């Protein structure tokens, strides 16, 4: 039984990995494919937000995301999640969230009082995908 489970898991991994690699390549440059939309096209927010860059999101995944954060040259630089604090306190969890890229050099977590799209006070969880990403998203 254990052997069968391991085999099934191995097969799943073998089929999933190419798909993940394909997705990562597709998201590397802005704009990402549908269903992602540019946040500033749908909400009254700046096109480039200092600290977060140009954000794209699949509306079906709101509010948590992932939000894909691109620098001014269109390079995917971070994946961002936005989790309302009250929902977390009420027992809602956000599990198995996707990532824009698999390499993560550092993570920032901080409080945000709200903004159009995610009005409730929430946490920003920012996964930077390379060492220079933070600087490129800053301005």
Partner 1 sequence: MRTRRHILAAGGGGLATLAMPSLLRAQQVEVIEMRGTPRGERIWYNPIGLAITPGTILHFVNRDPVNSHTATAYHPELFDRPARIPDGAAPWNSDFLLPDESFEVTLEVPGVYDYYCLPHEMAGMVGRIVVSRPSDLGWHGVAQDTDDLPEAALRAFPTVEAILDQSRIDPEETR
Of residues 121, 128, 135, 137, which one binds partner 1 by CB under 8 A?
121
Alpha helices in 1-139 (DSSP H): 2-27, 39-42, 85-89, 133-138
Closest separation in Å from C-beta 29 to partner 1: 24
The count of residues interacting with partner 1 (CB under 8 A) is 18
Q: CB 4: neighbour CB atoms within 10 A?
A: 8
Give dist(CA 93, CA 128) in Å, integer: 22
In the complex with partner 1, which residue's Cβ is closer, 52 or 64?
52
Of residues 37, 99, 104, 120, which one binds partner 1 by CB under 8 A?
120
CB–CB of 81/125 below 8 Å? yes
Of residues 9, 119, 132, 135, which one binds partner 1 by CB under 8 A?
119
Give dist(CA 90, CA 83) in Å, integer: 12
Q: CB 137: neighbour CB atoms within 10 A?
A: 24
Could you give the string, one character per residue 23-52, with x where binding to partner 1 holds by CB under 8 A and - elsewhere? Answer: ---------------------xxx--xxxx
Enumerate binding residues for partner 1 (CB under 8 A). Answer: 44-46, 49-52, 110-116, 119-121, 124
């Amino acid at each position: 039984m254990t052997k069968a489970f391991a085999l099934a898991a191995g097969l799943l991994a073998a089929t999933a990995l190419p798909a993940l690699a394909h997705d990562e390549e597709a998201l590397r440059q802005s704009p990402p494919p549908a269903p992602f939309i540019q946040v500033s096209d749908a909400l009254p927010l700046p096109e480039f937000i200092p600290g977060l860059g140009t954000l794209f999101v699949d509306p079906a995944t709101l509010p948590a995301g992932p939000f894909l954060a691109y620098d001014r040259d269109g390079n995917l630089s971070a994946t961002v999640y936005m989790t309302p604090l009250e929902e977390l306190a009420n027992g809602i969890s956000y599990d198995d969230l996707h990532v824009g890229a698999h390499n993560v050099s550092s993570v920032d977590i901080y409080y945000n009082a709200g903004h159009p799209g995610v009005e409730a006070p929430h946490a920003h969880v920012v996964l930077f995908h390379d060492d220079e990403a933070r600087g490129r998203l800053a301005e």
